[in-house]
Amino acid sequence: MASSLTSFQLTKSVNKLHTGVVSYTCKYCKKCFRNLTDFKRHERTHTGGKPYVCKYCNKCFSRSPSLKLHERIHTGVKPYTCKYCDKCFSQYPSCKRHERTHTGETPYTCEHCKKHFTQYSSCKTHERTHTGVKPYICKHCDMHFSDLSTCKRHERIHTGVKPYTCKHCNMPFSNSSNCKQHERTHTGEKPYACKHCNKCFRQYIHCKQHEQIHTGEKPYTCKYCKKCFRKSTDCKRHERIHTGEKPYTCKHCRKCFSQSSHCKQHERNHEEFSLASIVKSFLASH
């Protein structure tokens, strides 16, 4: 610790001697900072240091604000309240995003097709449907994804981790959104209302897809033949006709399929055949 402090002090002294301004230089990439806190936070991006520990589950974080947000999962503290419906949130950005479902505000615009979004991250993810960029890679199978959350959800297929639990029946889930949607089957909550006919939905995506029936909008375009679709999943499925891609593999015989449903049906055929063989063998032996 003493040598680290000496290093900080030496960096300060050298930079101040040459520039007259106190600054700290990262020893890994030579980037300079005037603020010691910013400097330490930056160096952790190189070292992977996570000095902040959750007092409830011992999970570690590189930044104090990230720890504070995480601990609210345990405490249930939700200090931010929607000014339209009094729904509470643990994070300020989540509250603002929710408020836009009331106001209809869509401040982020796709630079390719001018479609509007309530969230910056949703806009960036959508833009990748135009560019084809998939910067996130599964560390288990090298499959590529256009957004980090989808990549993390996919990785849980490999690990089997299910960190989210229904507070009504304790059923575990691999992702937060599925857990929330499931909990609404207990509560009956349908927070998303169609702005054309006021029909209500449990999921935001289902509400948006329903609204497209009213508007006729088909925002997803095949990059090979320009056919348009209402759903991103339908568009991706169609594009595989052009590419021949078959990302779904049978766990019994490794046969590949372009659609998940076809793969699941094929796997059931194995299981039914296996069961029939067991029954036949049992009957033959008796």
Return the CATH number of 78-161, one of 3.30.160.60, 3.90.850.10, 3.40.980.10, 3.90.245.10: 3.30.160.60
pLDDT at 14 over 60: no
Residues of the chain with CATH 3.30.160.60: 78-161
| Residue range 28-43, pLDDT digits in tens | 888 888 888 888 888 8
pTM for the model stands at: 0.45
Residues 6+ apart with CB under 8 A from 187: 168
Confidence band for 108, pLDDT divided at 50, 70 and 90: very high
Q: Residue 286 has what pLDDT?
A: 65
Q: What is the mean pLDDT of residues 98-110?
A: 92
Buried b / exposed e over 46-74, threshold 16 CB at 10 Å, is eeeeeebebeeeeeebbeeeebeebbebe
Contact yes or no for 136/151 (Cβ under 8 A) = yes
**3-class secondary-structure state, position 5:** helix
DSSP assignment string, 252-286 = TT--EESSHHHHHHHHHHHHHHHHHHHHHHHHHH-
Q: What is the mean pLDDT of residues 77-87?
A: 92
**CA distances from residue 73 to 69, 155, 167, 178, 179 in whole angstroms, order as listed:** 7, 22, 12, 17, 14
| Residue range 171-194, pLDDT digits in tens | 999 888 889 999 999 999 999 999
